[in-house]
Amino acid sequence: MSDWRTMTASQPSPSPAAVQARPGSPATAYIDLAAVTANVRVLREHAPGAQLLAVVKADAYGHGLVPVARAALAGGATWLGTALLDEAIALRDSGIHARIFTWLNVPGADFAGAIRRDLDLSASAPWQLNEIAAAAQALGCTARLHLKVDTGLGRNGAFGPGFTEILTSARKLERRGIVRIVGVWSHFAYADQPDHPTVRHQQEVFEAAVREAEAAGCDLEVRHLANSAATLTNPSAHYDLVRPGLAIYGLSPVPELGDSTAYGLVPAMTLTARFALVKGLPAGQGVSYAHQHVTAADTRVGLIPVGYADGIPRHASSRGPVAVGGRRYLVAGRVCMDQILVDLGADSPAQAGDQVVLFGPGAEGEPTAQDWAIAADTISYEIVTRLGPRVERVYVGGSEEPS
């Protein structure tokens, strides 16, 4: 029986107990925590003058919130960030003491819970500032605040005169000790195209907002704008803190400019599954829904128990790559809710229980998440982030580091 662990020489040696998939587990994502730690170190070398906030939103892009957060801190991240408040609270409640920043809320969010847990909060709109201030006042605490300026993404953040408005209100609250304005921040629209004219323009708007805040009396601790792409390609956007997400998982945010290896990154996730069935089919037999694939000759097909319910994109029907015994195949026909097939050829020795690799670092010739992104006409972010809860996560390469 082939096993991914025997085909990946570059793998760190984890403790044997940590590497075991549950017996009978249909699909297992191995998460290489040592790769996360190493990727964070590499990103810090790209931005030596800035602190690093590891973005671990969306269950750490599908890799697992708390284990990845600890691995990122071990690599020198001093901040963690999540879009949603619940994940930030979960991080703090897991015993992590690092700074934790969270930025996307709707009215009624548990700002009191956030302030009690010493989280860093963002304000993009008057309602958010008002609710944060009310919660801080009720607790008799000072809330730490980062003002978000929309510098041209046209998404979250205060735009134009809206920024002046929220800055003025926040400064009044700061003088009363209700909030402390520690940051001004924003997000790029075209970070993956570093020469795009909007990049320079957004930086100019950002720097003007920072000057405006300082002129209003803010004593800013961190000014931050850079995601993974800007961390890797645009040193002028590093400011005091960079906020990479995708790159800490070892995936390239700019695949047209360079792959993971080109940036010294190692993809942390290896998605494996085991054949549920391998059987012979005659030539001319349709395979899977609507018979999108028809066998060209007598052959053996292998049934893999992952499907679109697990995040395998249906758009990758007949296109998604799978490694079986060191050889690459394409998904045969439609991706179903729970399963996909591969057409292995008549001579395949594969049998039920054998392990297949959907994607991994690519070092042993296996497909990568980027290959799946191309097959499904999407980005690698979506491939790893959509991986569902039925796929077991097994952590390898971890170390016990202080939080």
Ligand X SMILES: *Cc1c(COP(=O)(O)O)cnc(C)c1O
Which of residues 26 and 244 has its CB atom nearest to ligand X in the complex? 244
Which of residues 55 and 312 has its CB atom nearest to ligand X in the complex? 55
Position with the least CB separation from ligand X: 245
Which of residues 27 and 47 has its CB atom nearest to ligand X in the complex? 47
Q: How far is the CB of 332 from ligand X (least distance, A)?
A: 32
Q: How far is the CB of 189 from ligand X (least distance, A)?
A: 12
CB atoms closer than 10 angstroms to residue 197 = 9
Contacts 24+ apart (CB under 8 A), 82-87: 82/55, 82/56, 82/57, 83/57, 83/58, 84/57, 85/109, 85/110, 85/113, 85/114, 85/119, 87/56, 87/57, 87/58, 87/59
Q: How far is the CB of 57 from ligand X (least distance, A)?
A: 6
DSSP 154-219: SSSSEETHHHHHHHHHHHHHHHTTSEEEEEEE---SSTTSTT-HHHHHHHHHHHHHHHHHHHTT--
Instruction: Look up 289 and say whether it is catalytic.
Output: yes
Catalytic residue among 57, 148, 249, 395: 57
Which of residues 182 and 356 has its CB atom nearest to ligand X in the complex? 182
Residue numbers of the site for ligand X (CB under 6 A)? 55, 57, 83, 187, 227-228, 243-246, 253
CB-count burial class (<10 Å; 0-12, 13-18, 19+) for 261: middle
Q: How far is the CB of 226 from ligand X (least distance, A)?
A: 8
Q: Tell how far CA 193 is from the center of its chain.
A: 19
Active site (catalytic) residues: 57, 289
